[in-house]
């Protein structure tokens, strides 16, 4: 089973990040965290790595529902979306499939919530594909 949805866009990193943030916002997500993996690896272990950003995306309404349904679900939140360099002037955008991550938790209420979030994250990727 695949654990993510992806698309590829051409452009520079800053422009691509703006598009990703706008697409997330349009589907009701905010970004709680932004991790620059390239900068972190350079700083911590002096390794050169391609541009790679991890965005911790959260839809507050569904996060609240999930937390009410399962008190430890915060260990799997927020939904990660990555933007990584995929060649000269190309960036791959991938969003976690919440259905894949929630399979480990036996709670039917969570499955329903994860399904709704899955639809929204697929819409984010589709929105980005339409801009390609």
State the residue for tokens 């051409």.
10
Residue 80: pLDDT band (50, 70, 90) is very high
Task: List, for residues 10-53, the tens digit of each pLDDT value.
Answer: 999 999 999 999 999 999 999 999 999 999 999 999 999 999 99
Contact by Cβ (8 Å): 24, 2: no
Q: What is the domain-level CATH number for residue 49? A: 3.30.310.70
- Angle at CA of residue 36, ends 30 and 38, nearest 5°: 155
What is the count of structural domains for the chain?
Answer: 1
The whole-angstrom separation of Cα 64 and Cα 18 is 26
Q: Given phi > 0 = left and psi -120 to 50 = alpha, else beta, which region is 46?
A: left
Report pTM.
Answer: 0.94
**What is the residue range of 74's domain?**
4-129
């Amino acid at each position: 089973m695949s654990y993510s949805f992806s698309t590829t866009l051409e452009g520079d990193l800053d422009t691509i990040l703006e598009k990703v943030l706008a697409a997330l916002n349009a589907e009701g997500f905010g970004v709680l965290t932004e991790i620059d993996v390239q900068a972190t690896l350079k700083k911590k272990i002096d390794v050169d790595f391609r541009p790679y950003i991890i965005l911790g995306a959260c839809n507050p309404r569904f996060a609240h529902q999930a937390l009410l349904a399962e008190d430890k679900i915060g260990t799997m939140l927020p939904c990660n979306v990555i933007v990584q360099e995929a060649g000269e002037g190309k960036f791959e955008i991938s969003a976690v499939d919440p259905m894949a991550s929630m399979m480990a938790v036996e709670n039917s209420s969570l499955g329903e919530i994860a399904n709704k979030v899955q639809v929204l994250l697929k819409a984010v990727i589709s929105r980005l594909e339409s801009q390609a």
